[in-house]
Structure 1
């Protein structure tokens, strides 16, 4: 039985008790009955206050649940967009060619693509959550993500090197930079610079 139901039953019992007292008053209403009536009225008032408090708590919980539901829906839409628009790997051309410029294998290339996907998914999961539900570290990340956004990035997904470092084990070194250039050349990424930050826009 819920707390609201329990209090409701108490209120009903008190009202029934008051009704019996009032029924008796038709015949006689001695002093002790008046005192009893006062006690019942006081107890009923306290129960009503408690009932109102529980109702307010239930409303607050319902509001919080609605916020969580909206956050989960945004996360789901974001992940769906990433899955639909970012390739899980670079397609391999038919034939014996297994390396791209700089002797980078498809396996290495796909590892970078996967790290970008992982970082983007984790980043936008945080961005689409209510700030109240985040811990201190996630709140700082949320603030950094917001500060990196510009009018040119509105409605688009992007990551920066710090996102790769934060959410993956990928080393952001010269080889990594070279692979990013290859992805840009293959039109899998687009660079947007500004404020001392290079943003890798997901195409």
Structure 2
């Protein structure tokens, strides 16, 4: 890239060459002897040199114009990304975690508040993998748009992900009870534990699932027509599958 000093220097050289040519032409009439002819030959070479400088100058100007055009395009892309980022910041979906927030039982909570509410464990679990409860991933906007309109009805993107959050709450609460030592359970927890075990089959072994009773027990989500419509959408997005048997419909996490 040529700076202003280089351009000024090149311009001065061209002006100097032109001035020299002008003086030589004025002396052309006196170019009778061999010495004067040699000077004229030198003028020819200088003209060729000037043409080369002008070509180089023109090429540099074109390069600078192309570079300026590219920089303006990059600036446009940057401004567009900046606007998209600001739009995402101003329209953050309510189910998305934020800085300083933590998801507990499917609910966004302040991290410090979570730490104060969670009791300190005296002894770490013997098997750290035992407490890993599988939860359903939230639906992306692309997946939501892929759901047929007849299946969506009036369900919005945020409502569907709120249902995902509630199902995750039920899964977490259920399997937290199943993973507790029996001696630490209350009578209510023992009854739930027994119901959970009775609902298991050989096909659910190693799987995480909930039934409608779990949704009613652990969440405020209404088990109605809209709920079942959202379950159809979640099946379409491959978040869960149904397993029927014994008069129950089990919703297995995928």
Q: TM-score, normalised by structure 1?
A: 0.58
1:149: which partner in 2? 200
Separation of aligned partners in 2, 1:160 and 1:171: 13
For residue 188 of structure 1, the aligned residue among 221, 232, 239 is 239
Tell me if the contact between 2:147 and 2:236 (Cα under 8 Å) persists in the aligned partners. no
Residue 140 of structure 2: which of 70, 77, 91 is its match? 91
List aligned pairs for 1:68-147, cutoff 5 A: 69-70=125-126, 74-75=130-131, 77-78=132-133, 81-82=134-135, 86-87=136-137, 89-93=138-142, 100=149, 101-147=152-198
Is the 1:157–1:202 Cα contact (8 Å) retained in structure 2? yes
Asked if the contact 2:144–2:157 (Cα under 8 Å) also holds between the matched residues in 1, the reply is no
1:185: Cα distance to partner? 1.6
Cα offset for 1:91?
A: 0.2
Distance 2:213 2:159 in 1: 20
Distance 1:115 1:196, change over 3 A: same
Contact 1:71 1:129 in 2 (8 A): no
In structure 1, the gaps of 5 or more residues are 1-64
Give the alignment of 1:60-71 within 5 angstroms: 69-70=125-126
Using the TM superposition, give the Cα deviation of residue 70 of structure 1 relative to its aligned residue in structure 2, in angstroms. 3.7
CA displacement 1:97-146 (0-9 Å, x = unmatched): 99952121011101110111000001000001111110000100000000
Alignment correspondent of 2:50: none
> Where in structure 1 do 4 or more consecutive aligned residues deviate above 6 Å?
94-99
Tell me which structure has the larger Cα radius of gyration.
2
2:141 partner SS: coil
Runs of 5+ consecutive residues of structure 2 not aligned to the other structure: 1-121
Q: Give the Cα–Cα distance (whole angstroms) in 2 for the partners of residues 115 and 182 of structure 1.
A: 15
Aligned partners of 1:195, 1:152: CA distance in 2, in Å? Answer: 13
Number of paired residues? 131
